[in-house]
Amino acid sequence: MSQPEVGIIDQVVTQEYKYGFTTDIEMETAPMGLSEDTVRFISAKKNEPEWMLAWRLKAYKNWLTMEEPNWQNFPYPKINYQEIIFYAAPKQKIQLDSLDQVDPELLKTFEKLGISLQEQKRLTGVAVDAVFDSVSIATTFKEQLKEKGVIFCSISEAMHEHPELVKKYIGSVVPPTDNYFAALNSAVFSDGSFVYIPKGVRCPMELSTYFRINAENTGQFERTLIIADDDSYVSYLEGCTAPMRDEHQLHAAVVELVAHNNAEIKYSTVQNWYPGDKDGKGGIYNFVTKRGICEGTNAKISWTQVETGSAITWKYPSCILKGDNSTGEFFSVAVTNNAQIADTGTKMIHIGKNTKSRIVSKGISAGKSHNSYRGLVKINKKAEGARNYTQCDSMLIGDKCGAHTFPYIEVNNNTATLEHEASTSKIGEDQIFYCAQRGIGLEEAISLIVNGFCKEVLNQLPMEFAVEAQKLLAVSLEGSVG
């Protein structure tokens, strides 16, 4: 008869991660651990040209001299690089020409993830490159794209088919010396996507890469390179999941974007790596370097990310605004629940005149998780008339989690205009009760409130993915209050 005295937002229970299954398939792996031989092994497996191996080895030697960074405000156990398998690929002897030759187990895996690679069932208007552990399995709609001159293939393939492009651009935005994890990636990267949009072409469909880590004890080190030549446009989306495993797995990717004169690249991420259990056991370490350069005038690069997975997410998709009048955008939703940690944000480096940047960050923390926004806006000396607008909003669910904001600003030109807004809110019992009184139950109410909070960012996603992302937000926070 009596009502419970405790508040509603109190209990914290775990969520179900519905992508946690594993695929049973014969794999070929590199011996565990990292040495010069590992680098040679990977390069040989991919039958790479000599220059690529030389590039990797240089990166590896450089990595050996570097220290793992420690400026972040969260601890994580020391990673033992000798206990990681750096290359794992499904065994297949023939070069794939069509989907018929792909192992049906793999096709089934992607079906299960909602990514159909079969022609007839595919999402209309989206070309997909599917990466399973260390290799690209299949790229769809290749022929249709080719007609427009768009190159969309795995980066391994690009090394052979378009060596001049790869040679010219790889490491041009994120040099192998950039940081510890970028150096590591440069040495051991296994696969990833390559995109080239020729001059004046508007890519006729969304391009998408889906990453799946499957094998145990492996790291995933993919590398993506997107080049938009003058007056071109491309919208690209990446998604990812992994099985539930008790040990942590490292994901250290590098993404490089190059936008030439009047070109626009829209890069969206829906990150849903396995976050670990509710006590923080297992889960992916998502240590990623993503950077784009607006090389030409009027170029535009826009990052949109919805980060719901991973034990630790540590990344700052950034824009170098070199061309005059170029624009950089960063729209982010980062959700942390249970023991998850996210330290994410962006760097906007204004170099050209009248460059503009816009940052909208929405952090949602539940459970005993920690969620930080860390961002740098740098206005160089010659960046006359640069403008930045930054908005950082945090939402707390419960009172055991934390939200932190670290905005760094460096202004070297006094014609710059910078605006910064920040807010912190709590999903209140008042809001929950209001919804309940209208017949809306707890989970539905949280989903409604959180989606409202993130609306500006979700609106940036391509339609099909916005719906997915909304569902994902609801699932990630399932059981965050009880």
Partner 1 sequence: MISIKNLHASIEGKSILNGINLDIKPGEVHAIMGPNGAGKSTLSSVLAGRADYTVTAGEVNFMGKDLLELSPEDRAREGMFLAFQYPVEIPGVSSTNFLKTAINEKRKYHGQEPMEATDFLKFMRSKMEEMEMDKSLTSRSLNEGFSGGEKKRNEVFQMAMLEPKFCIMDETDSGLDIDALRLVSAGVNKLRNSERSFLVITHYQRLLDYIVPDFVHVLYKGRIVKSGDASLAKELEVKGYDWIKQEVEAAV
Give min distance, CB of 317 to partner 1, in A: 23
Q: What CA–CA distance (Å, rounded) separates 160 from 113?
A: 30
Cβ nearer to partner 1, comparing 215 with 396? 396
Give min distance, CB of 447 to partner 1, in A: 9
- Listed ranges 253-261, 310-318, 366-374, 422-430: which one lies at the site for partner 1 (CB under 8 A): 422-430
Contact present, 266 and 294 (Cβ < 8 Å): no
Contact present, 75 and 285 (Cβ < 8 Å): no
Q: What CA–CA distance (Å, rounded) separates 368 from 280?
A: 10
Largest CA distance in the chain: 77
Give min distance, CB of 425 to partner 1, in A: 8
Would you state the structure tokens that stand for residue 326, as one six-digit string? 């170029």
Contact present, 251 and 238 (Cβ < 8 Å): no
Give min distance, CB of 437 to partner 1, in A: 5
8-47 footprint of partner 1 as x/- string (CB under 8 A): x---------------------------------------
Give min distance, CB of 445 to partner 1, in A: 9
Give which of 282, 288, 341 is closest to 312, Cα–Cα: 341
Cβ nearer to partner 1, comparing 114 with 452? 452
Q: Does 482 bind partner 1 (CB under 8 A)?
A: no
Helices 50-64 and 180-188, interaxial angle, to 10°? Answer: 150
Cβ nearer to partner 1, comparing 62 with 451? 451
Cβ nearer to partner 1, comparing 347 with 362? 362
53-66 burial code (b ≥16 CB/10 A, e <16)? bebbbbbbebbeee
Give phi and psi for 213, each to the nearest 5: -90, 130
Q: What CA–CA distance (Å, rounded) separates 120 from 140?
A: 11
Cβ nearer to partner 1, comparing 22 with 459? 459
Q: Which H or E element spans position 164? A: helix 163-169
198-237 footprint of partner 1 as x/- string (CB under 8 A): ----------------------------------------
Q: Interface residues for partner 1 in 424-453 (CB under 8 A)?
A: 425, 428-431, 433-442, 444, 448-449, 451-453
Cβ nearer to partner 1, comparing 36 with 444? 444
Q: Which H or E element spans position 464? A: helix 463-476
Give min distance, CB of 4 to partner 1, in A: 6
Please work out the total of residues on this chain that contact partner 1, with binding judged by CB under 8 A. Answer: 32
Give min distance, CB of 99 to partner 1, in A: 36
Cβ nearer to partner 1, comparing 248 with 362? 362
Give min distance, CB of 455 to partner 1, in A: 4
Cβ nearer to partner 1, comparing 381 with 438? 438
Q: What CA–CA distance (Å, rounded) separates 352 from 326?
A: 7
Give phi and psi for 157, each to the nearest 5: -65, -40
Give min distance, CB of 13 to partner 1, in A: 18
- Using alpha carbons only, give the angle 473, 479, 482 rounded to the nearest 5 degrees: 130
Q: Which residues bind partner 1 (CB under 8 A)?
A: 1-8, 425, 428-431, 433-442, 444, 448-449, 451-456
